[in-house]
């Protein structure tokens, strides 16, 4: 039987060529995979960086902000009461005037206070019954980080003498007590306690009273806190104390992993 040695030689030569090319093929595939992985990561990063005030970039276009729903018979904007969202102007009086106006609407179903996009600096203020505080997309309520503007309150009944210091404690940035029908919500807007200054003073032992929570509601009922971000609280972040029928859902709570002492997320108490 005759064997075509030229064919066998070509086959053997092709096998040797394939073996020599195999590392290059594998390397090229690894390179392609690496390039695709970097491109995917970069696209996510660029998408996150493209968040802008008033909406999102999508293929070079800015989408309009989400409309604020009307959740009460009467709705106000913080700007109706002189609020300025530049991150510098103090808006405490604007919040207080808005809450006062809503307090007169209880028999009509209450009122809604819309905090539009912007950075709204404020000292602590109180809520009222039958009130919805709506923090819009790209809106940030900023807590004033000077403790001189934070009122003092009696120590919590559950601790008696005080938590970090005996005697009075600082109140919360957003506070309410003996209230009914309270809603704090939004399009994942932010309430920021700017706790960095508080944490530093606490570590340096420069505070004479126990730090205050970011949001504290006491002896109240029918409360909903949803679809909002709470961050950088001076002390505990969300503290519902001796409350009934309270719902907390879709709430994002943020604080640094280190050097943010006692910034607990949710501290229900009684």
Read off the pLDDT of residues 113-170 as tens digits, 9 standing for 90 and up. Answer: 999 999 999 999 999 999 999 999 999 999 999 999 999 999 887 776 778 888 899 9
Runs of H (alpha helix) within 84-195: 92-103
Per residue in 157-201, pLDDT tens? 777 677 888 889 999 999 999 999 999 999 999 999 999 999 999
Give burial (CB, 10 Å; 0-12/13-18/19+) of 173. Answer: buried
Runs of H (alpha helix) within 160-261: 196-203
CB 112 within 8 A of CB 27: no
| Terminal Cα distance for the chain, rounded | 99
CATH number of 77-254: 2.160.20.10
Per residue in 41-85, pLDDT tens? 555 444 444 433 344 444 445 667 789 999 999 999 999 999 999
Q: Give the C-alpha separation, 27 to 49, whole Å.
A: 32
Spatial CA neighbour of 149 closest among 212, 103, 94: 212
Least confident of 24-28, 89-93, 201-205, 237-241: 24-28
Adjacent-strand bridge partners of 145: none
């Amino acid at each position: 039987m005759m064997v075509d040695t030229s064919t066998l030689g070509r086959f053997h030569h092709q096998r040797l060529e394939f073996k020599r090319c195999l590392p290059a093929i594998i390397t090229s595939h690894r390179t392609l995979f690496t390039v695709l992985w970097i491109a995917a990561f970069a696209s996510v990063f660029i998408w996150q960086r493209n968040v802008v005030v008033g909406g999102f970039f999508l293929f070079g276009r800015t989408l309009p902000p989400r409309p604020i729903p009307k959740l009460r018979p009467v709705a106000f904007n913080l700007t109706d009461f002189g609020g300025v969202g530049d991150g510098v102007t103090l808006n405490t009086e604007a919040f207080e005037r808005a809450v006062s106006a809503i307090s007169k609407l209880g028999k009509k179903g209450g009122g809604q206070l819309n905090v539009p996009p912007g950075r709204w600096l404020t000292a602590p203020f109180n809520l009222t019954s039958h009130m919805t505080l709506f923090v819009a997309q790209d809106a940030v309520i900023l807590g004033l980080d000077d403790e001189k503007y934070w009122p003092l309150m009696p120590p919590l009944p559950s601790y008696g003498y005080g938590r970090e210091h005996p005697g009075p404690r600082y109140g919360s940035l957003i506070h309410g007590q003996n209230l009914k029908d309270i809603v704090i919500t939004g399009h994942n807007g932010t309430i920021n306690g700017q706790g960095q200054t508080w944490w530093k003073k606490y570590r340096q032992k420069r505070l004479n009273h126990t730090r205050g929570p970011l949001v504290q509601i006491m002896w109240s009922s029918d409360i909903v806190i949803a679809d909002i971000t709470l961050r950088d609280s001076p002390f505990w972040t969300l503290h519902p104390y001796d409350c009934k029928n309270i719902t907390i859902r879709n709430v994002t709570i943020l604080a640094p992993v280190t050097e943010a002492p006692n910034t607990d997320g949710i501290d229900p108490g009684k």
